[in-house]
Amino acid sequence: MAAYKLLLLPGDGIGPEIMAEAEKLVAFLSAAGVAAFETEKGLVGGAAYDAHGVAISEGDMALAQSADAVLLAAVGGPKWDGVPYDVRPEAGLLRLRKDLGLFANLRPAICYPALVDASSLKPDLVDGLDIMIVRELTGGVYFGEPKEITDLGNGQKRGVDTQVYETYEIERIARVAFELARKRSNRVTSSEKSNVMKSGLLWREVVTALHARDYSDVKLDHMLADSLGMQLVRRPKQFDVIVTDNLFGDLLSDVASMLTGSLGMLPSASLGGEDAATGKRKALYEPVHGSAPDIAGKGLANPIAMIGSVVMALRYSFGLTAVADAVDKAIADVLAAGLRTADIAAGGATVSTSEMGDAILAELKKTF
Ligand code: NAI
Ligand code: MG
């Protein structure tokens, strides 16, 4: 079988430690003949700045462009607080998103049965929780023009950000949500503020029309974003797939993440458009959390968000659903057996980053 090309970008802080566990998984899947992967490694963030004076080199950008998927761990840390704005660690991540055209950010919020007590909500509200938030990532108020601070000359200033969405941007993100829903519980909740925003009104119009045209088999609801925020903490299990804009998606996905307990558990995917000729999408997979400088180099980091990001790559870039399901099950089984890294231990016994990674592999070896 043709090998899938993976670019690994460990980055900074705990990045290299958790990436090592992802590498073990990828190497195992290749060795077991489950899927063939070819990996290359690059530098991003502070690591790239220290080596090349930029947040990601042109060479590594070229590797990202030609890879079937990019796995990134995390960037940043106090060491690089003083570096110039355009080469700061986060600039590497932004460059990847922009140049690869990664407009669809998928953030699952899954509550593992073994961890229901870690949630900020009552166990029965989150037991079995499995939401997918689909956030538009390259448009909206973070990018719209004008975007400026002007001096009004009378001792006052004016700060302006502009929310702009065009039909094609709304259609392509909604399409991602509908396609995902068909593989899940077939329900999409689209969210905006069409009561007070023109761009929100267009959002609702476009999603409604696309639904009628191509996805009438999927159940579609619309919910105003403020109301959705309230419902997320009131009765989160009512949702399956949520699709929303860049700003609301940023807020709502952070709220949803806390329903599940720990930052160390949450993966994400950022997907680009389908290539017309090959049908392939550019894609980057990374944990939701940052570089955790406070615990870096100590073997304390939870590798599950990183391993879960590999699982998302198996699912969304390679269509290896059965393999992805098997890794997910291995994670759930290891948690059910009581293994805990410090962030999810609630004062009980703990295992190290590599012990958690090894335990998940050992569990997986029962299947492959
Ligand atoms: P953070 O997510 O790195 O850490 C927040 C808290 O969660 C810390 O106490 C940390 O120890 C803990 N934590 C995070 N991941 C963990 C894991 N896998 N296992 C166990 N505990 C974990 O966020 P923070 O502290 O605000 O930012 C630290 C650095 O990371 C900053 O430089 C920030 O800019 C950067 N950052 C990078 C992101 C990325 O690469 N996508 C995203 C968020 C922040
Ligand atoms: Mg955020």
CATH numbers and ranges of domains, the chain: 1-105+268-368 (3.40.718.10), 130-259 (3.40.718.10)
Residue 134 has pLDDT above 70, yes or no: yes
Q: What is the pLDDT of residue 193?
A: 98
pLDDT band at 14 (very low <50, low <70, confident <90, very high): very high
CB atoms within 10 A of CB 237: 15
Crossing angle of helices 353-364 and 15-31, in 10° steps, is 20
Average pLDDT on 110-134 reads: 90
Q: How confident is the model at residue 113 (pLDDT cuts 50, 70, 90)?
A: confident
> Could you tell me the two tokens for 129?
């929780």
Q: How far, in Å, is the centroid of ligand 2 from the Cα of 367? A: 36
State if residue 228 touches ligand 1 by the CB under 6 angstroms criterion. Answer: no
* CA separation for the pair 223, 296 (Å, rounded): 40
- Does 203 score more than 80 pLDDT? yes
C-alpha to C-alpha distance for 217 and 215, rounded to whole angstroms: 5
Q: pLDDT tens digits for 83-100?
A: 999 999 999 999 999 999
Q: Is the ipTM reported for this complex over the cut 0.95?
A: yes
What is the pLDDT at residue 84?
Answer: 95
Could you please report the per-residue DSSP string of 17-37? HHHHHHHHHHHHHHHTTS--E
What pLDDT sits at residue 127?
92
254 catalytic, yes or no?
yes
Amino acid identity for residue 309 in this structure: S
Mean pLDDT of 272-280: 89
Residue nearest to atom 40 of ligand 1 (CA): 74
Interval 301-314: pLDDT, tens: 999 999 999 999 99
The response to whether residue 74 sits with its C-beta less than 6 Å from ligand 1 reads: yes
> Which one of the listed residues 99, 130, 142, 161 is annotated catalytic?
142
Q: Which helix (H) or strand (E) holds 40?
A: strand 37-41
Query: Do residues 252 and 242 lie in contact, with contact meaning Cβ atoms separated by under 8 Å?
Result: yes
Ligand 1 mean position, distance from CA 105 (Å): 18
Q: Rounded to an integer, what distance in angstroms lies between the CA atom of residue 250 and that of residue 266? A: 14
Check if 275 is active-site. Answer: no
pLDDT number for residue 258: 86
Mean pLDDT of 286-307: 97
Location of structure tokens 């029309």: 209
Name the band, by pLDDT with cuts 50, 70 and 90, for residue 20: very high
Positions at the binding site for Mg(2+): 226, 250, 254
- Is the distance from the beta carbon of residue 254 to the nearest atom of ligand 1 less than 6 Å? no
pLDDT tens-digit map of 182-197: 999 999 999 999 999 9
Q: Tell me: pLDDT of 206 over 90.
A: yes
Q: Is residue 294 within 6 Å of ligand 1 at its C-beta?
A: yes
Q: Is 49 a catalytic residue?
A: no
Could you give phi then psi for residue 178, rounded to 5 degrees?
-65, -40
Q: What would the mean pLDDT of 103-109 be, rounded to a whole number?
A: 97
Least confident piece of the model among 73-87, 256-270, 312-326: 256-270
pLDDT of residue 141: 96
pLDDT value for 1? 63
* 142 included as an active-site residue: yes
Angle between helices 167-182 and 198-214 (to 10 degrees): 50
